Amino acid sequence: MCGIAGWLWNQPPSDPKLTLSRMADRIVHRGPDAGGFYVDAKAGLAHRRLSIIDLNTGDQPMANADKTIHVVFNGEIYNFLDIRKDLQARGHRLATRSDTEVLLYLWQDYGPRMLEHLRGMFAFAIWDTRSETLFLARDRLGVKPLLYAETPSGLFFASELQALLAAPDVSPVLDIESLDLYLSLQYVPAPRTIYTSIRKLPPGHFLIARKGRVERIERYWDVTPAPRKWDRREAVETLREKVQEAVRIRMISDVPLGAFLSGGIDSSITVGLMSRCADQPVKTFSIGFEESDYSELAHARRVAEFHATDHREFVVRPDAIELLPTLVRHYGEPYADSSAIPTYYLCRETRRHVTVALSGDGGDEGFLGYNRYLAMRVAPALGKIPASLRNLSMALLRPLRKNKIARQAARLLDMSGRGTDLAMYLDAVSHFSEADKAGLYTANHRRRMTEREGGLAESYLRSAFRTDVPLVQALSYLDLQTYLPEDILVKVDIASMANSLETRSAFLDQDVIQFAMSLPPELKMPGWRKKDLLKNAFSDLFPPGLLRRGKMGFGVPLEHWFRKELKSFAEEALDRPPEPLRTLFQPDAARNLLRDHIEGRRKNDQRLWNLLFLYTWARLFPISDIR
């Protein structure tokens, strides 16, 4: 696991290594063990290394035997030993035992089709001096990040946004459409970033550049949401086989390895399967809160005891808000998933004991674990209720907003009145609705956004929404294209690499995901039983009774914190928009949201965190203009 950067210039610069050094310095946390550079007359590569495999001969940038092809690589290729054998059979003489080296000879033999051979998580750059071609590629599901910027000085790329801000001619111009999407979705989706000049290479894509310019960007893989008939017993056996194999290959490491354990379904399965592969107790790590409604420590402890793991626990307290500037600096752009707080702490404490940790990310999207999948099953029926009766029901439920069930029922009734499936889904995942944003924006900015076609978030989701498969399958596919890579995987990558920790997930294996999408929804979620097939397939890995408890998620008690311990901090931080945003936001918009939350008129904790992160980002990062 590493950090990479590079520059393909169109005119020879005076001191390219100085620029590359500045870029690499911004991502030293991703690779504290070693650094390296390659520079020739046309291009330069930089690398920061976190040593995981082949500790002695795996330094980068790495070149092939005749020094015509060079690579910098971030990630893990889990099938590299099989690839290595195949390459040796084809006559190649490999000099190291690292997974990086196989990329050089795959490119030499197959060009862009090399990606068909890779099983893993990766972002890498290959510079081919023979054809003066720069090849950038990102893994299928978007586990590892890769960003780039086309400038008058040429094409720059890097693992993180702040590295690109160290490059010449990369202008920090705020993109108001990206900002609008962030307010709705809590993230800025690829290929956008918060800046107009920087772009993300989307998951499952590669980029080819020559002479300092992007020549083409192409998608090389997409999961196929094609459910077919499965015999239940055969499905269970296949599922066990594929997940076990995915766990096994992710346990290959030359450094200490452990696992995150939440006490939920996916991490418990991962830990159980690791325990069956390991010859000593698996090291497990859990995090919780003082507020019992948000803490799963007791459940994680039961799983740890069941599998006799070497277990450690940590508790996050309200003073975690002091972490906010650190989070903002690492994420580099507005990112409002508040579970980044415990994720960061979990990674920090885990890194004190191991260098690699397995997680359960991807299980909810692939095997239907989110509550919104159930909500979307019932919402269309509720939408047929006359509007007057639905409004009356919501009015009766609003005084009970402190009751979680009443609040969820009111939200479901409100969502069911949105009309289309996509509008209902957007309501389920949004922080700020279009009406909410209209209340935030100044009159001039509101008018400007209206002129640019409102509903950017819905348009973005529509581009990945399938109408040729059952609704729940379409929502699962939508989450795999949007929420998983743009929110969940960004959160884990940045939080883990900020602490120089590598994370891996068996549920993100391409074979596991494709298998999951071949299963009909009624097999994965019969009736109201979420993840039913997954639970039954691995029921032997759970202590008695744990499978029957409801999903808690990785929530943060912000609702309570904003009313108590964080009240004074939030009042000061959200009093007025920071200077660069004052032409966009009403001066009292955030203040009003906070007052309504504190006085119990509306639950605004996620909206408040969204603005708190945004305001902090605007105070710490440059904004030269707004467009």
Domain extents in the chain:
2-219, 232-368+471-548, 557-627
* Confidence band for 552, pLDDT divided at 50, 70 and 90: low
Which of 30, 594, 556 is closest to 345 using CA atoms? 556
Average pLDDT over residues 471-500: 96
Alpha helices in 441-579 (DSSP H): 443-451, 456-462, 471-481, 483, 489-497, 510-518, 521-524, 532-537, 558-563, 567-573
| CATH T-level topology, domain 2-219 | Glutamine Phosphoribosylpyrophosphate, subunit 1, domain 1 (3.60.20)
Distance CA 230, CA 239 (A): 12
User: What number is the average pLDDT over the span 512-518?
Assistant: 96
Dihedral over alpha carbons 200, 178, 141, 6 (to 10 degrees)? 10
pLDDT at residue 11 in the model: 87
Query: What CA–CA distance (Å, rounded) separates 531 from 524?
Result: 6
Which residues on adjacent β-strands are paired with residue 166?
A: none
Please state the rounded mean pLDDT for residues 298-312: 95
Look up residue 370 and give its two tokens. Answer: 């989110």
With a cut of 80, say whether residue 514 has pLDDT above it.
Answer: yes
**Mean pLDDT across 550-576:** 84
Span 551-577, mean pLDDT? Answer: 86
What pTM was estimated for this model as a whole?
0.94
Q: How confident is the model at residue 443 (pLDDT cuts 50, 70, 90)?
A: very high
Q: What percent of the chain has a predicted confidence (pLDDT) above 70? A: 92
Stretch 15-20: mean pLDDT: 95
For strands 356-359 and 502-505, give the pairing: parallel
- Check residue 177 and give its pLDDT: 96
In sequence order, the β-bridge partners of residue 405 are none
Is residue 137 very low, low, confident or very high in pLDDT (cuts 50, 70, 90)?
very high
Average pLDDT over residues 41-69: 85
Residue 134 has pLDDT above 70, yes or no: yes
Mean pLDDT of 494-506: 95
| 3.40.50.620, 1.10.10.10, 3.90.79.10, 3.10.20.30: CATH of 232-368+471-548 | 3.40.50.620
pLDDT at 48: 93
Does residue 112 have a cis bond before it (omega within 30 degrees)?
no
pLDDT tens digits along 260-291: 999 899 999 999 999 999 989 999 999 988 77
Question: What's the mean per-residue pLDDT of the chain?
Answer: 91
Check pLDDT > 80 for residue 418.
Answer: no
What are the tokens at 603? 């639950």
Residue with tokens 């949201």, as numbered in its chain = 593
Q: Residue 151: what pLDDT?
A: 96
- pLDDT at residue 231, as a whole number: 93
> Does pLDDT of 378 surpass 80?
no
Per-residue pLDDT at 254: 78
